[in-house]
Chain A
Amino acid sequence: MSSVTETPAGVAFAPTADGLEAAIALLEHVGERGGGIVGADERRAALARYATLPIPGGRPSRGWRHDYGALRFEELRYTSDRLAVPASTDGLVHRGATALAAPGSAASDPRVVVLPLVDAVRDARYRAAIPALDEGIVEDKFAGLATAFQNCGAFVWVPAGVVLETPIQLVFAQAEPHADAVFPRIVVVLGDGARATVLERQLGAGPGLVCGVVTAQLGAEAALDYVAIQQSGEEARVLMRRTAHCAADATIRWHLAELGATLARSVLDAHLDEKGANAEVDALFFNTGFQHVDLTTTTDHAVGNTRSSTVVRTAAADRGQGRFFGNITIRPHAHGSDASLRDDALLLSRRAHIDSVPALAIAANDVSAFHGATVGSLDRDALFYAASRGIARTEAVRMVALAFFEPAIARLPSEALREEIRSALDDKIEAATEIDA
């Protein structure tokens, strides 16, 4: 990555009609290098939706710092590029909105396709596999922004019956010293019976904006572990909507860790469209400093005999703020559905704030639906117990706070990832300045 020194052509980003025309002109000028999936008229329609759709989650109440209505986008650079680099590991790296990819698929298994989205769009074999955006995405204000300005992305295709052992990594790194406006569209398609792990990483310092849409389409009996780890710089804004559609007996496992950025919005949708489909969702955030995270999980039991299990752990120290919206929908006739939602919030300082807003809409009889939630501070009895064993207060706080996240961490698909997240959380606890217990 360090060998890439060219600066791609760019325009100033603005979420306005003029800003969009400048973006469209740029994309045409560079030959739609990273764009290409969205036509100009479609972009204009998407921007109109962005402008008119309501702010998700409503306006934050008094005392909340982040107001989407007041988001500022000054000094962001809009680019789109694709650079050929030698293939390294399974996966694809973006630096800003520049795809760094070898010509051809970046997957070690020759049957698996990993391409910059623009390359996939130009290939008739793959273009047909890219699904249209569903209604839920179309009606999302920030998905509208992401669609209007889409300038990069990735395409992952695991054909029927292929079981991929190595995770496919999709890395989005902010390209310092620029502040880039990055609008990725990530498309993951698993054929019947395919199994894979995709690891999406949001990285890098700098005050950039990432606003993107991920869609995963799972064939019958397919299983996808999709891990999203957000460790962007402390001035970055990262707004991602991720949606999966599951055919019969398919399993989507969403794993999410929101650790960086000043403002992050993360939406995880799981649509259980056919019988026997499963969703397992684990998500965590730990907001320190002045971070704010909005996390939404929505599981839609469209038919009966579908199962979902959601485990969410949220914590805040210093002046961190966060909201969790947990939605479960069980549609009429979706008898025999089984849904559970467990969310726990840990407040580590007096000035930290977390809201939890569950919403269960159950329109069928003969279903099992569980919801449990807690909000609390560190368990003083546990801290005293640890102290009575000689464990110093800071160490005891670290131990008990880290342990809080463990039910979510435990569901990650590998020990290496579990250790990585524990270590990242540990660093955040270390760096936090306001922890009361």
Chain B
Amino acid sequence: MSTGLVTRDLRVAVEGKEILKGIDLRVERGRVHALMGPNGSGKSTLAFTLAGHPGYEVLAGSVTLDGEDLLALPPEKRAQAGLFLSFQYPAAIPGVTVANFIRTARQAVRPGDLVPAAFRKLVFEKLETLDMDPAFLGRYVNDGFSGGEKKRLEMLQMAIMGPKYAILDETDSGLDIDALESVGKSVAALRASDEGKDTGFLVITHYPRILQHIHADVVHILIDGRIVKTGGPELAEQIERDGYDGVRDEVASAGV
């Protein structure tokens, strides 16, 4: 069995236009991979494709989660298999409280594993870890939330669902430094918990600054639908210094 969240030669089109042109990636349990790229490089396309959004057409390739064929599964089965996507723009569901939503979600991915009292305890622990007001629970999901509040709710859900693999799609976008720190803490707290110590992360970002708060083991650079370079944390520093054009020039001169 092939462990990890693995894509092989993944090609994806949106509305007939090929966006991802052959992605090979392996995110191992317990490791943090950063996927960096400029606007329009296909970062969010990869996130939505992995999560099973119906608007993304897989032209070729495969995606497996610990050996299980994800592409054969509808989105909810992918989540039940242990995949979590933190949305860049999470949808609002007016009328559904956060409490109801996270209880239903937890029940869906880990049926019957916690009695109500234990679930309640878990929720309040996570709220405290994330420094969130319990009043959040009574609000409607993402309804009238600020950008920072939406991202905190994504982090809360991640902490409660305890996925095997978590994709953070531009979780840093639109956040101020405090909120960014809090996201960093959330990820660190999840990795320190029993449920999250083996979680593999794919942190998708445009800007290197989130990697000051989440330490990446591996950094990939995605340009024009292809991973053009893979390296260690120093690659993020190079982006900080030279921008994506620097990498583009380097790749072009190397004749890739």
Q: Which residues of A contact B (CB under 8 A)?
A: 379, 381-382, 384-393, 395-396, 399-400, 402-407
Contact = CB atoms under 8 A, between A and B. Distances in A.
A390 B76 contact: yes
A405 B95 contact: yes
B76 A391 contact: yes
13 contacts: A384-B75, A385-B90, A387-B52, A388-B76, A388-B79, A388-B84, A389-B101, A389-B108, A390-B105, A399-B100, A402-B95, A404-B95, A406-B96
B95 A384 contact: no
Interface string B23-59: 0000000000000000000000000000111100000
Nearest to B82: A390
A341 B14 CA distance: 40
B79 A381 contact: no
Contact of B104 (A382, A388, A399): A399
A365 B176 CA distance: 46
Q: Which 6 interchain pairs have the tightest Cβ spacing?
A: A403-B95, A406-B95, A390-B108, A390-B79, A389-B105, A387-B75
A389 B157 contact: yes
Interface in B117-168: 140, 157, 161
Nearest to A399: B96
Contacts of B78: 388
Given A382-B91, A389-B109, A405-B95, A395 B79 contact: no
A388 B51 CA distance: 6
A379 B53 CA distance: 14
Given A387-B52, A403-B96, A392 B108 contact: yes
Contacts of B100: 399
Interface of B: 51-54, 74-76, 78-80, 84-85, 87, 90-96, 100-101, 104-105, 108-109, 140, 157, 161
Contacts of B105: 386, 389-391
A392 B80 CA distance: 10
Nearest to B93: A382
Contact of A392 (B51, B53, B76, B161): B76
A410 to B, nearest CB: 9
B160 to A, nearest CB: 10
B108 A395 contact: yes
Given A390-B76, A390-B79, A392-B76, A385 B108 contact: no
A399 B79 contact: no
Contacts of A384: 53-54, 75, 91
B95 A407 contact: yes
Contacts of B101: 386, 389, 399
Contacts of A393: 74, 76
Contacts of B140: 403
A56 B51 CA distance: 51
A387 B74 contact: yes
Contact of B93 (A390, A395, A400): A400
Nearest to B48: A384
Contacts of A392: 76, 108
A419 to B, nearest CB: 13
A145 to B, nearest CB: 38
Contacts of A399: 93, 96, 100-101, 104
A82 B75 CA distance: 60
Contacts of B90: 385
Contacts of A403: 93-96, 140
B29 to A, nearest CB: 19
A141 B90 CA distance: 50
Contacts of B161: 389-390
A387 B95 contact: no
B169 to A, nearest CB: 11
Nearest to A385: B91
B51 A386 contact: no
A391 B87 CA distance: 16
A425 B80 CA distance: 28
A406 B94 contact: yes
Given A387-B76, A387-B79, A393-B76, A379 B91 contact: yes
Contacts of B52: 387-388
A382 B79 contact: no
Contacts of A382: 91-93
A380 to B, nearest CB: 8
B37 to A, nearest CB: 22
B4 to A, nearest CB: 20
